[in-house]
Amino acid sequence: MEKTLRVINSLESEKIIGRYAIGGAVGLLFYTEPAVTYDLDIFCHLPHEGTLIDLSPLYNYLAKLGYHANKGEHVDIEGIPVQFLPPTTYLVKEAIDNSINKSFEDVPTRVFQYEYLLAIMTETGRAKDKARIALALESAQPDKTKLEEILRRYSLFDKWCKIIV
């Protein structure tokens, strides 16, 4: 993972991607007990003009470094499947912008705040996200005021209440 994060940090420093943060199940690892996951979700701002985002500059740059896409949406970087995800909702954009600095081993990285991870899983609403919310809450409690504020701002509070029943 350390080598993978070093490559991702270089992508940001070379301006191939903009600000990034780890989300998904790997993001939860920074706050809760481990959950099963297949890949590393890197949410990032990607340079683009207009409304279409072209991932080919990113994939081409990674290919020059010897990292190639597998199964269409993942790039194998140092043995870890990485998915680069642009912010598709205002909540995800805000989560990237408010991500916090962490370290994995000795490598600096950025991770979504716990409350944003919970809110994004609520927004997505997939069965696996609902299960991850339940498991996460068993091992770590969020800042309830912060979480409720995020949920209310994105009209997700009622959905949250139904999930945690």
**Which one is predicted more confidently, 33 or 18?**
18
Tokens, residue 163: 């999930």
Best-predicted range by mean pLDDT (11-20, 28-37, 39-48):
11-20
Q: Which domains does the chain have, with CATH numbers?
A: 2-163 (3.30.460.40)
What's the mean per-residue pLDDT of the chain? 93
What is the distance between the alpha carbons of residues 80 and 118, in angstroms, rounded to a whole number? 24
Per-residue pLDDT, 165:
83
- Of 73, 91, 89, 93, nearest to 81 (Cα)? 73
- The yes-or-no verdict on residue 57 having pLDDT over 70 is yes
Q: What is the pLDDT of residues 62-97, one digit of tens each?
A: 999 999 887 668 999 999 999 999 999 999 999 999
Neighbouring C-alpha atoms within 13 Å toward the C-beta of 31: 25
For the chain, the distance separating the N- and C-terminal CA atoms, rounded to the nearest angstrom, is: 35
Mean pLDDT of 136-150: 96
Q: Tell me the pTM.
A: 0.93
Question: 17: Cβ–Cβ under 8 A, 6 or more apart, which residues?
Answer: 8, 11, 42, 44, 45, 46, 47, 58, 84
